[in-house]
A and B are shown apart, each in its own frame.
Chain A
Amino acid sequence: MKAEERFFRIFMFLSTLLIAVALLLLIASILVKGLPAISWEMISQTPKGGYYFGKEGGILNAILGSLYLSLGATFLAFIVGLPVALFMNIHLINRKKLVNSIRFFLDLLWGVPSIVYGAFGFTLMIYLGLRTSLLAGIITVTLFIIPIMVRGMDEVLKTVTRGLYESAMSLGSTKSETAYFIFFRQCIPGIITAILLSFGRAIGDAASVLFTTGYTDYLPTSLSQPTATLPLSIFFQLSSPIDEVKVRAYASAVVLTVIVLTISILSRYFTKRFHQHKISD
């Protein structure tokens, strides 16, 4: 084997190993620290009086709050994002410069730290007269994940072959029919990945919900009430000096990881059903 080839093989192997080990350590550390504290009580109850001092109660408020928040935001971002992504790739197919500048701005927005979105959401709340609430959180997180959603879908939509586009158009489809009946269906697996990516960002982010969603020990019952979220719950518990509480922070992290994992596996399962329609170039 050539020396060069050997070098790159070793290099690639070491990089892969590094990533795998980092990931395994991360998962192992939350499992080792968190699993002992996980109980049915923890995921089925709201925090009782002395919960933050290590007494009984659970984090159901944060689990439900996070699910409501990120499902709501992902749904809204999808409703707004899909037409944008389709429009960029079908209707604006001849406006390469315009589409590329849209992509550039979306990438910029993707890179803006989530705390900035939190601050922006907060200003928006004052302007609209909203209190810290689930609704304010959903709006902020929606804004925060729209660039991810649009660019994620855009990346798969732009791989659709020109031939399929022209075939659809030559059958007399309008551009919108081509967009929703052909491009959308052709790209379902990639679109699901984009949704998943956005959902992952939505459920895992703490900074954007800090000012906007607030925190409460009660279960979320209304869009206009403050709502607990898992990242903030982890943050509060981890900053406690009491060991029993700290351990529960890791347990909460396990819960968060399991939620993301479950949704990921479920969506992959459903994605498979649509892969069969994919034509390759």
Chain B
Amino acid sequence: MPRNTVIKTRLRNGLTVVLKSVHTAPVASFWVWYRVGSRHERTGRTGSSHWVEHMQFKGTAAFPADSVERAVSRVGGMWNAMTWIDWTAYFETMPADQIDLALQLEADRMVNSRYTKKDVQSERTVIISERQGSENQPTFLLSEEVQAAAFRVHPYHHEVLGDQVDIETMTRADLYAHYRAHYVPNNAIVVAVGDFKTTPMLKRIRALFGAVPKRDDPGLFVRPEPNQRGERRVHLEGEGQTAYLQAAYHAPAATDPDFFPMIVLDSILAGASSFNLFGGGISNKTSRLYRALVLTELAAGFSGNLAATVDPYLYSITCAVRADSALQKVEAALDEEMDRAMATPPAEEELAKAKKQARAMFAYSAESVSNLGFWYGFAEILDEYTWFTTYLDRLDAVTAADVQRVAQLVLTAANRTVGHYIPNDG
């Protein structure tokens, strides 16, 4: 993929625009990213970013909810949105000749969403239902507790969905204020990828988004997490027959030079994974933890999760304990692998494998304009789109010594929170 074809500019109102033409299929993907996520929420209003995302589908005067939904679907388009700790993103992927609708819709709902009391009330029960569905999963309950124990001060402390009590008590005014404060052009990035010419696309974006007034920069809500001084442990009891273990280590932020060695470390320990929300991972049956946990018949399965985030977040390993095994055995085997990663640098073959896997997964993800749209916007949230375009080069530069050094920094017991889910029917 040529690297010189990305166009990036900033409009006078502060809106960042990233464009890339891709002419392989008659489709286009349009994204708007806002620098707002659960980390911007104060106590009592947790979950407001996610709820605001839901409300953004409730319509404006120009685009009532039903009519937009219909307009997007009628042409075969797909649209959705997602909220995470650092950001909220909206996208439409459409037949290329229909993409203008996405621009109109997104420019309009950046300022004109209605937030009627009735819609707020009906969405409250939908979100409670979404939370109850998540609570049906033991791994959700466990992650939520581990995350809360790992962050005492930093607002990464709470779940994106928010606490039940806040979902029950937040008002229309709370949600609308959150929307008005954060949905401003100087806090947003628009990305278009697909089968279009960039000059008319930029002109159209200027025409539609350029008129949205700049407002106060909401800024980041920053309360750095103090260094952890010793292992934290969480015990959770719940229904089911299966026990789960989660170990979560404070890990470098995406812009930290240590982040790329961390990607290689994750790949060696838990298998290659993609940050892309649309999947594209490969199997991990030759990873160190598969050999140590699954081939030894201690765990039925496991996953490693390294998140690329604005502030330092967590690197976590989650294991489902086999019915004929025990939590303590899984934890001991995990500890042994973490000790090994700290004690010895990885073999050159392991390093080479991690790099080739990343190259292949990049090639796969470039097949889809939605994937590319995700990547450019995500990289802009973290840093600049070049974070994505230079990703493979920076990964290539990682040495075995880098990996060991970062392992020694991250994988210590004092830097982690360990969670146990103990089933009542086990």
Chains A and B form a bound pair: no
